[in-house]
Structure 1
Amino acid sequence: MTFADLGVPSSLVQILEQQGITTPTPIQTATLPDSLAGRDVLGRGRTGSGKTYAFLLPLVARLDASKLPAMPRKPRALILAPTRELVGQIEASLKPLADATGLTTRTVFGGVGQNPQVTALKKGVDIVIACPGRLEDLMGQGYADLSAVEITVLDEADHMADLGFLPGVRRIMDKTPRTGQRMLFSATLDKAIDVLVKRFLTDAVTHEADSAQSPVATMKHHVLHLSREQRVPVLVDLTSAPGRTVVFTRTKYGAKALARQLNKNGVPSVELHGNLSQNARTRNMEAFHAGHATTLVATDIAARGIHVDDVSLVVHADPPVEHKAYLHRSGRTARAGNEGTVITLMTDEQQRDVRDLTRQAGIKPVTTKVDGPSHPVLVQLAPGERTLVPGGLTVEAPAAGANGGGGRSTGANAQRKRARKSGQTNGRSRRGNPTSYTTETGQPSGSGSSGSSNGGGGQRRRSGGGQSSQGGQGGNGGNRRRSGGRSSQGRGQSSQGGGHSAASFSRGR
């Protein structure tokens, strides 16, 4: 069965072929005939099963066929997703299809300024890809009117429910025409999803492409039983093996602290969690995609819908609370038919929880008692020569004045070290340019902010690693205290640029 056999227009089939996509996945094969015909569709498939193209192809094909113009403030299609990262991923998949058909798109989510989003909506866009919160804000301000929406898609519906977004989703979907087509895709179907189906889908056809419980067949599941003090040494060994690794923690602070520890031990790592600004999230994901960072340390924010090619290993540093989270986390590997390994670290006090978790997830992992990083099973699970980079992943500030940006950059690590030792740095604080990554040195060489204080011999105290070289208009001999990424002193507040450095892992914000 080909995409053309399923009814996908030839122009879109060509775009898929240019990206090496020639064979439909089971969820695409099941849903495309109905969705291309304009029917309401309820599709269930695990993350990585190809749900994104299952709704993008019919959406683009039907909008292109109707040939209606985009109207100010009135999008023709709406895609709702639970996280900013998933919105960005959908946009990346949509862009070549939209470009080929002349359709315009706009992402809408919080954490960034709304002005570019408002400008685009006023001008008129065909397709809006949005998180519910920011979209509701813009609707309330009169910038978004959903009365002309022809197609509505709700992606990762069960995750919307888990995050408490359903009231907002219902309010948004109530504003879309009942006569429009609606598609709902989810990794699981439960009572919360049934409420949406009964309220918003008309004569919907349901397709379940795989088992809701059983894991991907190409995953290998292991549990490593170890002492708490061996967790970090074992993680360093596993993550220093060749290939990309995603490590999951239960809390935001845990992700930040673990990423800092891995970098300190020579594993280039970035963090992903809810405390990061949108710019920091984007920067860290780009570093992971590009291979500058080999390990992503994340909370469950990354367990859904984040596609990174060739993740060979997923490690649950903290076992998740419930089995659905385990399956979604584990779905970061073994994508698109590739093999993958999933490892859960288990301490003595976690044995009962992990046993219950794996039973509910429908898996039978291999459990091994591990006494440290020298245990031979680690090389079996993560084969290859271990590589450690002194300092892990660090950031490099742009040259002074680059792209019309910030002020004077001290640049070299040695200068920053000397400045930290003497308690003073030269230059006036100004906002710098976006940072770039390097793994060639053990110290941060900037975090997007180039200046700091004129103060003479002032004391600087740092908490949790901090961010490098930034400040305000300090007084002579002023006492500066830094906690949580902000500095304050006698004369004003510091200017800081670029958000959190992936190498710094300072607390707060």
Structure 2
Amino acid sequence: MTFADFGVPSMLIDILDKQGITSPTPIQAATLPDSLAGRDVLGRGRTGSGKTYAFLLPLVTRLDAAKLPAMPRKPRALILAPTRELVGQIHAALKPMADAAGLSTIVVYGGVGQGPQTTGLKKGVDIVVACPGRLEDLMQQKYCDLSAVEVTILDEADHMADLGFLPGVRRIMDKTPQSGQRLLFSATLDKAIDVLVKRFLTNPVTHEADSAQSPVSTMSHHVLHVSRDQRVPILVDLASAPGRTVMFTRTKHGAKALARQLNKSGIPSVDLHGNLSQNARTRNMAMFHSGKATTLVATDIAARGIHVDDVALVVHADPPTEHKAYLHRSGRTARAGAVGTVITMMTDDQVRDVRDLTRLAGIKATTTKVHGPDHPMLVQLAPGERTTPGGLVADVAPSGGGSSTGGNAQRKRARKTGETNGQSRRGNPTGGSGSAGGSGGGQRRRSGGGGQGAPAGAPSGGSRGRRSGGGNRSTSGSTGGRSHSAASFSGR
């Protein structure tokens, strides 16, 4: 069925068409008939399944049909989400549709001054997209009154529970009219979600678009068994392949440290974690969206709701502590039917934990023992020409992840792209051009020279000969004494 078959207005269908969205995803097809009919809906679908448009389409359709003016301090609709990044991305998807319908919108979250938010609310706004904490603050200051809300939407409800936001969510929802429509969307349904459903939803229709632990069918899972001192060289190799990469660490310090190490190795990288100001988080995400940064290093703050197209590779530099985090982290790739690869780095002392993690996540991962960045498996997992165009300088990445080699790292390391894989990370035929420039096959060149520049744990000095099946490799130029060091991403 098409969006038109469900009764979505043509003006909204036109906006979807411009974004290349022509047919509903399973969660959209399941929920739209009930949500457009005004019923309360409980929807569960994995990350990347299209939940955002599943609630935005009926929301805009309903408000547009009423043709009511915006009222000062009294929004007509409320969308709650757990993180500032998710609020921003929901708003980015909402804005074109709201503009087409003549509806006003505003985002409300902490970490920034409240002046523009209070000004917008006093002026009058139709739809508020908010994090619970700042919204409660503005409600207590009498800037926001929820008594006129017609539709309330909770996105990533399970993550709000994980972050301890449920008391605030309950207080907020208690201020909305019981007669209003309520839509709750979540990647998982558990006891914490049941509390919200029983208290706030009236005769809800439940739709589950996939199994509770369903990994994406187009996502391949791999575990790389590595020594601790080889983690950085291997991560540098993976990040230097074409396309966007997201790497996860367990701690904020670990994210900052890894981003700094990648930048020093010539890979433009930004970090995302709770120690950053909102301006820095917004700026870093903008650089990743635009492609100025090719690698995002993040804590679990980015495991939910970070929607970036064409993320071909997700790397757990630190394995997560529990399986739900694994699934949500991994959901940054293979979105909307695209293919993707997920890699978990595992050291000797993490073998049992990773084995339990994958079992509980319901995935079957291929485990490979990798001794260094020359292992042929890395080419299969991240095909294409390796490039290190230069890290981001500190004034571009103010988070501390950006000491840079600047323009001095204009070195390219080309190597065979792995004929067994057959496709590049961008979907190009093997040997085609990669997004980071140059042709994707042939010889691999690594900057080296002298008795320096070798990854930790590797022999130092000049050429290290031939690698079986990997083409010729030669040293060319010098990196000026750069060396890799072992990382302690988890803060241990």
Q: TM-score category by the smaller chain?
A: 0.7 to 0.9
If asked which structure has higher relative contact order (CA below 8 Å, sep 6+), I would say: 2
Task: Label 1:437 to 1:135 Cα distance change in 2 as closer, same or farther (>3 A).
Answer: farther
Match of 2:3, SS? coil
Runs of 4+ in 1 over 6 A off after TM superposition: 436-439
Q: Which residue is equivalent to 1:455?
A: none
| Cα distance in structure 1, aligned partners of 2:222 and 2:314 | 10
| Cα distance in structure 2, aligned partners of 1:17 and 1:439 | 42
1:62-461 equivalence runs, <5 A: 62-390=62-390, 392-394=391-393, 440-441=406-407
TM-score for both structures, normalised by structure 2: 0.81
CA contact (8 A) 2:260 2:403 kept: no
Report the aligned-residue RMSD: 1.6
CA contact (8 A) 1:225 1:346 kept: yes
| Cα distance in structure 2, aligned partners of 1:442 and 1:109 | 40
| Cα distance in structure 2, aligned partners of 1:321 and 1:72 | 45
CA contact (8 A) 1:271 1:296 kept: yes
> Cα deviation per residue 1:195-220 (whole Å; 9 max; x = unaligned)?
00000000000000011202000001
- Give the letter aligned to residue 139 of structure 1: M
Q: Which residue is equivalent to 2:40?
A: 40
Instruction: Please report how far the alpha carbon of residue 442 of structure 1 lies from its aligned counterpart in structure 2 after TM superposition.
Output: 5.5
CA contact (8 A) 2:268 2:295 kept: yes
Q: Which residue is equivalent to 1:13?
A: 13
- Give the letter aligned to residue 218 of structure 2: T
Task: Label 1:437 to 1:131 Cα distance change in 2 as closer, same or farther (>3 A).
Answer: farther
| Cα distance in structure 2, aligned partners of 1:442 and 1:43 | 51
- Give the letter aligned to residue 164 of structure 2: G
- Give the letter aligned to residue 280 of structure 1: A
| Cα distance in structure 2, aligned partners of 1:439 and 1:60 | 48
| Cα distance in structure 2, aligned partners of 1:437 and 1:114 | 32
Instruction: Please report how far the alpha carbon of residue 159 of structure 1 lies from its aligned counterpart in structure 2 after TM superposition.
Output: 0.3
Instruction: Please report how far the alpha carbon of residue 15 of structure 1 lies from its aligned counterpart in structure 2 after TM superposition.
Output: 1.6
Instruction: Please report how far the alpha carbon of residue 394 of structure 1 lies from its aligned counterpart in structure 2 after TM superposition.
Output: 2.0
Aligned residues: 405
CA contact (8 A) 2:46 2:214 kept: no
- Give the letter aligned to residue 375 of structure 1: H
CA contact (8 A) 2:139 2:145 kept: yes
Instruction: Please report how far the alpha carbon of residue 127 of structure 1 lies from its aligned counterpart in structure 2 after TM superposition.
Output: 0.1
> Cα deviation per residue 1:136-156 (whole Å; 9 max; x = unaligned)?
000000000000000000000
1:492-503 equivalence runs, <5 A: none
Instruction: Give structure 2 stretches of 5+ with no counterpart.
Output: 410-492
Match of 2:79, SS? strand
Task: Label 1:440 to 1:217 Cα distance change in 2 as closer, same or farther (>3 A).
Answer: same
Match of 1:374, SS? coil
| Cα distance in structure 1, aligned partners of 2:305 and 2:185 | 12
Q: Which residue is equivalent to 1:482?
A: none
Instruction: Please report how far the alpha carbon of residue 4 of structure 1 lies from its aligned counterpart in structure 2 after TM superposition.
Output: 0.5
CA contact (8 A) 2:266 2:405 kept: no
> Cα deviation per residue 1:139-184 (whole Å; 9 max; x = unaligned)?
0000000000000000000000000000000000000000000000
Instruction: Please report how far the alpha carbon of residue 440 of structure 1 lies from its aligned counterpart in structure 2 after TM superposition.
Output: 5.0
> Cα deviation per residue 1:442-462 (whole Å; 9 max; x = unaligned)?
69xxxxxxxxxxxxxxxxxxx
| Cα distance in structure 1, aligned partners of 2:318 and 2:373 | 18
CA contact (8 A) 1:59 1:151 kept: yes
Instruction: Please report how far the alpha carbon of residue 441 of structure 1 lies from its aligned counterpart in structure 2 after TM superposition.
Output: 2.9
The alignment status of 1:56 with 2:56, answered yes or no, reads yes
| Cα distance in structure 2, aligned partners of 1:342 and 1:182 | 35
Percent identity between the aligned chains?
A: 81
Q: Which residue is equivalent to 1:414?
A: none
- Give the letter aligned to residue 22 of structure 1: T
Match of 1:74, SS? coil
| Cα distance in structure 1, aligned partners of 2:213 and 2:369 | 27
| Cα distance in structure 2, aligned partners of 1:136 and 1:83 | 15
Instruction: Please report how far the alpha carbon of residue 236 of structure 1 lies from its aligned counterpart in structure 2 after TM superposition.
Output: 0.3
Q: Which moved more, 1:7-16 or 1:59-68?
A: 7-16
CA contact (8 A) 1:314 1:343 kept: yes
Q: Which residue is equivalent to 2:428?
A: none
Task: Label 1:43 to 1:437 Cα distance change in 2 as closer, same or farther (>3 A).
Answer: farther
CA contact (8 A) 2:108 2:129 kept: yes
Match of 1:100, SS? helix
- Give the letter aligned to residue 58 of structure 1: P
| Cα distance in structure 2, aligned partners of 1:256 and 1:437 | 11
CA contact (8 A) 2:265 2:405 kept: no
CA contact (8 A) 1:259 1:271 kept: yes
Match of 1:75, SS? coil
CA contact (8 A) 1:81 1:129 kept: yes
| Cα distance in structure 2, aligned partners of 1:254 and 1:10 | 48
| Cα distance in structure 1, aligned partners of 2:243 and 2:74 | 45
Match of 2:337, SS? coil
Instruction: Please report how far the alpha carbon of residue 67 of structure 1 lies from its aligned counterpart in structure 2 after TM superposition.
Output: 1.2
- Give the letter aligned to residue 407 of structure 2: T
> Cα deviation per residue 1:256-291 (whole Å; 9 max; x = unaligned)?
000001111111100000100011001000100111
- Give the letter aligned to residue 378 of structure 1: L
